[in-house]
Structure 1
Amino acid sequence: MKRILVVGGGLIGIRHMQAVQAHAGCRMVGLVDPDMTIQADVPRFVTMADVTDPVDGVIIATPTPLHAPHGLEAAGRGWHMLIEKPVAASLEGAKELESVLRRKNIRSLVGHHRRYHALVQQLKSSLADGVIGDVVNVSVLWCMRKPDAYFEENWRSVSGSPIMINLVHDIDILRFVIGEISEITALRGQSRRGGARIESGAIALTFENGAVGSVTFSDITPSPWGFEAGTGENPNIGTTHQDMMWITGTKGAISFPSMTLWKGTDWGRAAEPVALSPALNEKTPLEAQLDHFLNVIDGAKPLIDVADAIVTLGLAEALETQLASQTSNSNETKCP
């Protein structure tokens, strides 16, 4: 039985807590959060310093600016950790954490839980098997409308860009299923909620294997297109089962999450769909991630540790920097 502590009682922290409580291989040490009004039938602690019971692993699900400080505090206690994405608010903080973990021989896992999704695993293996030949390009849509309450009286109203909260997942999936990204650039859309926060934009990418791609994103537009809506993996987001990623190659194309495979020769004859049965999750990705975390505590190789997550963070941070330098009404990139 692994003794697990959860730090952070927000939306994702409560989901982690519920997964730990339901897992036969875990014992819930408690929930750390200064907000004692959070409803949770577990031992409560205001800070990690208040925890005196033994802990085998800690799940850090606090706001992004606290990831690195809380990771360092947990490392000081000798606790192996699953830390939510993005791994830190800055590359500097992430690298400091990685250095400490390596020096103290503390194992880590980062919460890019989509890597555990059966469909994502199937997509990765299908591309690796060459079902569409060499990957040439990819297009991704993530277009949701977050409710106004999501931004009220909290850190998201200023720094709640969808890059670090949402697109960091899509960037990580692209790295995972297609390959490392060598170049990335973006254009910012106009802000519609009346603040300075980044809300929408378009991203262009180049991969080390020669493929190129684009990502269009917005958290101000109600639409059926996005990973969560398409796969139904987030209970807080409505499910549409619509595709949100399209990948083309030298021998065909595939769309996700329907896993519709298309084969063809040239434009003189229409490409035809080929039967491909979508993989089904035996467990939710969050539950599968918890299974893996317990194994990582015992010494298994992590699917994505802090060192690997730093690469994804670096790409997301580069995008944030580019977009922050552009005003929502900038004329700098307009055609003459």
Structure 2
Amino acid sequence: MSAVLRAGVIGLGMMGRHHARVLHALDGVELVAVADEVGDRLGAAQGAPVVGSVDELLRVGIDVAVVATPTATHEEVGLRLASAGVHTLIEKPVAVDAAAAARLVAAFDRAGLVGAVGHIERYNAALQALRQRLDAGELGDVFQIATRRQGPFPDRIADVGVVKDLATHDIDVTTWIARSPYASISAHATTKSGRLHEDLVAVSGRLEDGTVTSHLVNWLSPFKERVVVVTGARGAYVADTLTADLTFHENGTERTSWDQLAAFRGVAEGGSTRFAIPKREPLVLEHEAFRDAVLGRRQDVVTLADGMRTVAVADRVITSARTGTVSIVDHAAAGGGAG
């Protein structure tokens, strides 16, 4: 393999265009071609050759690829790239279901290739800082992780519902932050926009370490919100991934002399701190991690196995919402615990 990785992008939808933009400027990587059966209508290739199929892209000669096609095609495209010996980053969700994801995991493992999933939120500065502080024990025992991810319907999505498209972010982030997999899931979902798939879901869960979780996700809100709240023994962290801001609201130590209020309140209000943290574009960090994994420098990508476990939990969310029952997460079938 040459010192400069020859890269290709498959699919020039919204995310594919962003992948092409980042790869154009990424040190140690050359975007040599892009593939899309309808061409490059918006000029995302920026001069790189545009071909119509994966096989044409492989004939150009690539070391690494990004798959940014509709979810239903991820397995077929990923397996073709694995058979050709190409290290691959697949946009999330990694596949339509856990069984398809498992076949991708097996194929890349057999070939000895790096396979990664584009769970970009892991590279958000606020969540990176949050996990570091949790790992350092700054919050004490973690009681709850609650997320809100809502906004208007995105025109780019047609083949999956809000669970597979958006809630997979929250499932992955929650297990990654807590370093613990899900034990059980209960969900309610609905479709209000006239589309085939669910556009709103409310999920309650419990992780194996006892942490209680909740996720409110929809495509029905006129405003966009991306928030993760982690509550623990010493207060609560609030991460806003739209602005990459992290704020800590600490439990107060001052006792109140107002007897009626003291009897009503649980913890007291303390000070609040919004941290100053370096903020780089998460997609750039994701690509740097993938590049370095391919080159053997470090291994901190979101693996295909991570993506498979996330899809397995998403499958249980959909099952719970459909049946009205609590769904137990089978980690043996999903390939193990949290990354």
Cα deviation code 1:195-235 (max 9, x no counterpart): 44211121001011111011112101113422xxxxxxxxx
- Does the aligned pair in 2 maintain the 1:109–1:306 contact within 8 Å? yes
**Aligned residues: percent identity?**
25
**What is the distance in 2 between the residues matched to 1:90 and 1:269?**
42
Q: Does 1:25 align with 2:28?
A: yes
2:183 equivalent to 1:182: yes
Which 5+ residue runs of structure 1 have no aligned equivalent? 227-243, 327-336
Runs of 4+ in 1 over 6 A off after TM superposition: none
1:76 to 56, 78, 83: 83
**8 A contact 1:109–1:302 mirrored in 2:** no
Structure 2 residue corresponding to 1:262, chosen from 243, 249, 255: 249
Change in 2 beyond 3 A, CA 1:2/1:253? same
SS at 1:109 equivalent: strand
Rounded Cα–Cα distance in structure 2 between residues aligned with 1:72 and 1:268: 54
Matches within 5 A, 1:1-336: 1-40=4-43, 41-51=47-57, 52-146=59-153, 150=155, 156=158, 159-178=159-178, 179-189=180-190, 191-226=191-226, 244-257=227-240, 258-264=245-251, 265=253, 267=265, 270-281=268-279, 283-299=280-296, 300-325=298-323
Q: Where does the alignment leave 5 or more consecutive residues of structure 2 unmatched?
A: 256-264, 325-339
Change in Cα spacing, 1:90 to 1:26, as seen in structure 2 (3 Å) is same
Residue 120 (structure 1) shift = 0.9
Root-mean-square deviation over aligned CA pairs: 1.9
- TM-score normalized by the length of structure 2: 0.83
Aligned equivalents of 1:268 and 1:316: distance in 2?
34
Q: TM-score, normalised by structure 1?
A: 0.84
| Alignment match, 1:334 | none
| Alignment: residue pair count | 300
Aligned to 2:337: none
Could you tell me how far 1:260 is from its partner in structure 2?
2.0
CA displacement at 1:169 relative to structure 2: 0.7
Equivalent residues of 1:108, 1:296 under 8 A apart: no
Contact 2:147 2:229 survives alignment (8 Å): yes
Name the aligned partner's letter for residue 140 of structure 2. Answer: G
* Contact 2:105/2:305 (<8 A) preserved: yes
Provide the C-alpha distance between the structure 1 equivalents of 2:8 and 2:274, rounded to a whole number of angstroms: 41
Separation in structure 2 between the aligned mates of residue 301 and residue 262 of structure 1, nearest angstrom: 33
Greater fraction of residues in strand: 2
